[in-house]
């Protein structure tokens, strides 16, 4: 099957969340553009969703313009919106693994994952991973991956992610920052088709330390590391004050920004493009994206979930697969 006929796999995510309904909405919006294949229990799709069960991924492309192709899994029962069922947990995990297998086997172009609920997986199954990304890394046989948040206005990567702010200075090591830059550079080149990526790197402290007056990390090791990497051929700007990195003129000077911690990265992209932000995992041996939001239990099943981020995640995954 040519790349253009291979589907983007949509894993169902947490059935009690908004994953099934935004998948159905995304298919309705993209059915004439991108072939899709949804993996999950078809009883969890919104009532009235035009769908058909297929036997394998090769059937998805021809079917996708008229119905959502479904590779069906029996989760053992219906889902109740907003109420995770522990008996569904292992099925959710298995669907993610199956989606990865389809992409790695060449039967699908890319994987787009719906949000999961980590506590539900830990309560209902032997899920020993902090989250989606770590599980995908294990399935891909890699240890170093990077979370990129991407939209048409900004691509940004946090070097440290879900840790307390007072832990960042310890967790942020020269080795960690170097690896984040290397993976981001390779991802922009190999997945986004940017031959010579330009990266802007934020400082850790206010005003990037202001010469040591507001913190020593920039002087002691961040700036020397960036100098060393520039000598190796990386196009890097920084360390830069984070408060002047994200206006329009600054963003025009780089292809992606590397931030030092979670909020330093996510606040600007969510301010600039809240609905269209996409979570991209770089460093995997396959293309994976996801919408930049959670399960939204409070609105699940009400038919009001905004599918924009899912639509953008599918489009991004398809473009990345074509660039590979």
Q: Could you identify the residue written with the tokens 């032997």? A: 126
Q: Any binding-site annotation on 185? A: no
Question: Which is it for the CA torsion 96, 100, 103, 105, positive or negative?
Answer: negative
Spatial contact of 21 and 305, defined as CB atoms under 8 Å apart: yes
**How far is the C-alpha of 20 from the C-alpha of 2, rounded, in Å?**
27
Q: Is 271 annotated as a binding residue?
A: no
288 in a labelled binding site: yes
Does 44 belong to an annotated binding site? no
133 is in an annotated binding site: yes
- Annotated ligand binding at 306? The verdict is no
Q: In the β-sheet with 36-40, what is the strand arrangement from edge to edge?
A: 51-53, 68-72, 36-40, 8-11, 110-113, 288-291, 278-282, 146-150, 155-158, 256-259, 198-202, 235-240
88 is in an annotated binding site: no
Q: Tell whether 316 is in a known binding site.
A: no
Provide the token pair at 6.
């291979």
Q: C-alpha angle 225/229/230, rounded to 5°?
A: 115
What are the angstrom distances between the C-alpha of 206 and each of 3, 34, 85, 164, 242? Answer: 46, 44, 45, 18, 7
What are the phi and psi torsion angles at 18 (to 5°)?
-90, 0
For residue 173 the two structure tokens come to: 């090591």
C-beta of residue 98 within 8 angstroms of C-beta of residue 12: no
Three-class secondary structure of residue 111 per DSSP: strand
Residues that constitute the known binding site for substrate? 132-133, 270, 279, 288
Residues that constitute the known binding site for a divalent metal cation? 162, 207, 262
Residues that constitute the known binding site? 132-133, 162, 207, 262, 270, 279, 288
């Amino acid at each position: 099957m040519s790349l253009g006929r291979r589907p983007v796999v949509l894993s169902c995510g947490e059935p009690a969340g908004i994953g099934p309904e935004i998948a159905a909405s995304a298919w309705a919006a993209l059915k004439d553009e991108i072939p899709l294949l949804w993996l999950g229990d078809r009883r969890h799709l919104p009532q009235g969703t035009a769908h058909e069960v297929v036997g394998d991924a090769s059937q998805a492309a021809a079917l996708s313009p008229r119905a959502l192709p479904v590779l069906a899994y029996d989760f053992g029962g219906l889902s109740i919106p907003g109420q995770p069922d522990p008996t569904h947990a292992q099925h959710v995990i298995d669907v993610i693994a199956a989606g990865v297998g389809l992409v790695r086997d060449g039967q699908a172009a890319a994987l787009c994952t719906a949000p999961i609920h980590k506590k539900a997986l830990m309560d209902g199954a032997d899920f020993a991973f902090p989250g989606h990304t770590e599980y995908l890394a294990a399935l891909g046989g890699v240890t170093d991956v990077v979370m990129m948040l991407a939209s048409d206005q900004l691509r940004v990567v946090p070097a440290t992610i879900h840790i307390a702010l007072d832990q960042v200075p310890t967790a942020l090591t020269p080795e960690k920052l170097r690896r984040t830059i290397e993976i981001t550079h390779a991802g922009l080149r190999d997945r986004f088709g940017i031959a010579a990526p330009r990266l802007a790197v934020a400082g850790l402290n206010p005003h990037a330390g202001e010469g040591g007056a507001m913190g020593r990390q920039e002087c002691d090791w961040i700036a020397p590391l960036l100098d060393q990497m520039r000598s190796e051929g990386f196009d890097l700007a920084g360390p830069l004050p984070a408060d002047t990195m994200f206006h329009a003129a600054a963003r025009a000077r780089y292809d992606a920004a590397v931030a030092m911690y979670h909020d330093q990265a996510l606040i600007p992209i969510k301010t600039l493009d809240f609905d269209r932000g996409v979570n991209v995992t770089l460093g995997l041996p396959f293309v994976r994206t996801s919408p930049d939001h959670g399960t939204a239990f409070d609105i699940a099943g009400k038919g009001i979930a905004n599918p924009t981020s899912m639509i953008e995640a599918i489009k991004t995954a398809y473009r990345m697969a074509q660039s590979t």
